[in-house]
Amino acid sequence: MPDRFALNKTDLWSRRHLLKVGLAGAGVVGGAIALRTMWQPRSHSVHIPASPDQATVEPQGFTPLKTLRQFDYGTVTTENGRTVREFRVEAQTTTVQLNSATSFITWNLNGQVPGPTFRATEGDRIRVIFYNRAGHSHSLHFHGVHESRMDGIKPVRNGSVFIYEFDAEPFGVHLYHCHVAPVARHIGKGLYGMFIVDPPTPRPPADEMVLIMAGYDVNGDHKNELYAFNGMPHYYMKHPITIQKDQLVRLYVLNMIEFDPVATFHLHANLFQVYRTGRHLQPDDETDVITMGTAERHILEFSYRHPGKFMFHPHQDPIAEAGCMGYFNVVDRATT
């Protein structure tokens, strides 16, 4: 991207400034035809059981439930007959209380760790307007296929904007993260998220959810002292994820743990179909433990025959016991 897109203004979101850099005509600020589709559920034919636990908002200001079932489809416009999805994200610095004894300064997108789950269909044009207000240089490096200048390895200075634009390809489960060195530190402080590219023919309806595993090095010793699914240690132990008996669950799972070479994902009392990197429409494997290196991700599909509470966690048990562990609460529809 040319340097003219690197700005140093405080009101960069204003239409006036976007016009100045010549982006309004390209649909950057949207228009009458723009359709905001943030947080839409993927399918209306799926029953998501209500759960009193899931209404809980953690006092520290962000909640893992935002990551679990919310997908950001961007602001949709059509340019030259083609779907363009525009996402606006702001890098911020936010202090989060990870537990009663540990507060932690995160670097994050839009005040949430993990960042929003961007979602598109293969072939869409993606435009990510990245405004860095976090106080340090950061960047957004997307996995997937794109040209070199969109690869996100060039730091974006604090107070500047960079616009990443590329095609959503290939379909599958991808991710994005800051690529400023030391990368483990920038990821460990929260600058990462999932990027889902749906196949042109959608997958069958399912209760879709995102679980991202990550670690927190809270004392700077290059080891993780705490771990979490979707940002908050032990959250889904205290707030089990309610799911419907006999209904297909489609889990988009990502290992974003730095410093530990691998983590597994294990599901209790069940097996799941594995779609490696989400790259195929037929499962590659069926198991109950899958091993993932850092940045590996898959689609896992399963349903439960029996009601009750069932754990999920990495089988590296110290990782699980330091916060990366949770429950599914399987309920009959009649009881919800």
Q: How far apart are CA 97 and CA 57, in angstroms?
A: 13
- Give the annotated binding-site residues for Cu cation: 138, 143, 177-178, 186
Residues in contact with Cu ion, counted by CB under 5 A, come to a total of 5
Nearer to Cu ion, 132 or 329 (CB): 132
Residue 306 structure tokens: 């029996």
As measured in angstroms, the least distance from the Cβ of 140 to Cu ion is 9
Nearer to Cu ion, 178 or 292 (CB): 178
Instruction: With contacts defined by CB under 5 A, name the span among 77-85, 111-119, 190-198, 237-245 that binds Cu ion.
Output: 190-198
Binding flag, residue 187, Cu ion (CB under 5 A) = no
Instruction: With contacts defined by CB under 5 A, name the span among 183-191, 202-210, 229-237, 263-271 that binds Cu ion.
Output: 183-191
Backbone angles phi, psi at 3, to 5 degrees: -70, -15
Using an 8 Å Cβ cutoff, are 257 and 229 in contact?
Answer: no
Binding mask 18-57 for Cu ion (x = CB under 5 A): ----------------------------------------
Q: How far apart are CA 113 and CA 236, in angstroms?
A: 15
As measured in angstroms, the least distance from the Cβ of 59 to Cu ion is 26
Indicate which single residue of 66, 88, 138, 141 sits in contact with Cu ion (rule: CB under 5 A).
138
Binding flag, residue 141, Cu ion (CB under 5 A) = no
Residue 67 structure tokens: 């990551």
E strands along 55-116, which residues?
Answer: 72-79, 82-99, 102-109
E strands along 199-240, which residues?
Answer: 207-216, 226-229
Binding flag, residue 250, Cu ion (CB under 5 A) = no
Nearer to Cu ion, 64 or 155 (CB): 155
Provide the b/e sequence for 65-98 (b: ≥16 CB within 10 Å).
bbbbbbbbbbbbbeeeeebbbbbbbbbbbbebeb
Query: Can you give the binding site for Cu ion, defined by CB under 5 A?
Result: 138, 178, 180, 186, 191
